[in-house]
Amino acid sequence: MKILVCISNVPDTTSKINFTADNKEFDKTGVQYVINPWDEYALTRAIELKEAKGGTVTVLNVGEADSEPNIRKALAIGADDAIRVNAYPKDSFFVAQQIAAVAKENSYDVILMGKESIDFNGSQVHNMVGELLGIPAVVPAFKLDLLDDSTARLEREIEGGKEVVEVKLPFIASAQQPMSEPRIPNMRGIMTARTKPLKVVEPTGADTKVDYVNYSKPEKKGGVKMIDPENAGELIKLLRNEAKVL
């Protein structure tokens, strides 16, 4: 079983988000980067499947050299090897093309990634890769089991319910909780990660479909109006007559 897990390198969930003075780029100053939290569900599930059935887990990141600490972290958590496509991830279509190219070259049985990245919140790459490769994309999945060497059973969320899907390998799935319980690397993992292979490849095709031209921040709230707890019912009246949301 060959599993590919795609990870993105994103600002830590507690980061303050700022932009450069011209509002054209994200300001990385002082920002700590982590593996995209959704991708961690994909990574740990891949490692669990490998532990149960044998095989390999490869992590793939489309990103510049500053992603490498988090790629090493994924290796420390238990992936076997890694590939970095050496390019700034310009847009979803660009990233999808890179993943599809790597997948074509190495023919994986299962391709996993998170449901979305917490920086650009696109939720596009998995379905685009599925379309580029002509294989099923099960999005967003919260349960994944292999029934045998050629079939997987997944549960995916739909608005208001869930679907149970059985697909033939190869397929793509995007992960969300509770697919797995993310792990933290142990000392042994950190030691062995240093010598695991991390291959850097150059991107193929540079096609993008969208251009990020400007960033801004949402308007600040006008401040909070406090209501006396003894008189809590007053809140309901304010919501109807002042805020007009009831």
Partner 1 sequence: MSVLVFVEGLNGEVKKSSLEAATYGSQVAQQLGTTVTAVAIGEVKEDALARLGEQGISKVLYDGDERLSQFVANAYVKVIAKAVEQENARVLVFSNSNIGAAIGAKLAVRLNGSLATNVTALPKIEGDSFTVTRGVFSGKALADVALTADPKIIAIKKNSIDITSGGGTATVENISAELTDADFSEKPKETVMQETDGVLLPEAAIVVSGGRGMKGPENWHLIEDLAKELGAATACSKPVSDMDWRPHHEHVGQTGITVSPNLYIAIGISGAIQHLAGVNSSKVIVVINKDPEAPFFKAADYGIVGDAFEVVPKLIEAAKALDK
Ligand X SMILES: Cc1cc2nc3c(=O)[nH]c(=O)nc-3n(C[C@H](O)[C@H](O)[C@H](O)COP(=O)(O)OP(=O)(O)OC[C@H]3O[C@@H](n4cnc5c(N)ncnc54)[C@H](O)[C@@H]3O)c2cc1C
At residue 187, what is the residue type? M
Q: Does 233 sit near partner 1 (CB under 8 A)?
A: yes
Residue of 121, 184, 187, 188 interacting with partner 1 (CB under 8 A) = 121
Cis-peptide into 136, omega within 30 deg:
no
- Closer Cβ to ligand X, 114 or 136, answer by number: 114
Cis-peptide into 140, omega within 30 deg:
yes
Q: Does 238 sit near partner 1 (CB under 8 A)?
A: yes
CB of 128 to partner 1, least distance (A): 5
The footprint of partner 1 on residues 59-118 (CB under 8 A) is 92-93, 96, 118
Binding characters for partner 1, 133-162, by CB under 8 A (x = yes): ---xx-xx-x-------------xxxxxxx
Query: Of ligand X, partner 1, none, which one does residue 204 interact with (CB within 5 to 8 Å by kind)?
Result: none
Tokens of residue 48, six digits: 């669990």
- Closer Cβ to partner 1, 58 or 117, answer by number: 117
Q: Does 37 sit near ligand X (CB under 6 A)?
A: yes
Q: Helix H segments across 7-150?
A: 37-53, 68-77, 92-106, 125-133
Residue 91 sits at φ, ψ, to 5 deg, of: -155, 175
- Closer Cβ to partner 1, 187 or 213, answer by number: 213
> How far apart, in whole angstroms, are the C-alpha atoms of residue 205 and residue 246?
52
Return the CA Rg of the chain. Answer: 21
